[in-house]
Amino acid sequence: MNYKLFGIRLRELRNNRQISIKQLASQLGYTYTHISNVEIGYKKPSRDFVQKAADFFKIDSEGLLLLSAEIPEDIMRILQRSPTEAPKYLRKRFKDKDEK
């Protein structure tokens, strides 16, 4: 699976704060190499990593979780309880305007 969207967003957040990969690694408690691999999309970020990044950048973790190919637990429960209806609703509700 490709985690490049998460890496792109992480790099964007880091650049907006004007901090280096090494500085971010130190703040989050990870190695420089780990952060670099996450930004490039080679490594899937763990939930813990996503939460630490969200806390550090003071943003909501749900958006970052989705970019890391993770589904928030409450959303997963909804999907599991309604495996047919939930995806249909989401597709109908959020269908790309160009697809009409």
Q: What is the mean pLDDT of residues 76-91?
A: 90
Domain ranges of the chain: 1-69, 72-100
Integer-rounded Cα Rg, in Å, for the chain is 16
Right CATH number for 1-69 from 3.40.50.300, 1.10.260.40, 1.10.3720.10, 3.90.199.10? 1.10.260.40
Mean pLDDT for the chain? 89
Over 70: is that where the pLDDT of 71 sits? yes
Closest C-alpha to 18, from 57, 68, 58? 57
Question: Please, are residues 61 and 33 in contact by the beta-carbon 8 Å criterion?
Answer: no
Write out pLDDT tens, residues 18-38: 999 999 999 999 999 999 999
Q: What is the pLDDT of residue 98?
A: 56
Question: Please, are residues 45 and 53 in contact by the beta-carbon 8 Å criterion?
Answer: yes
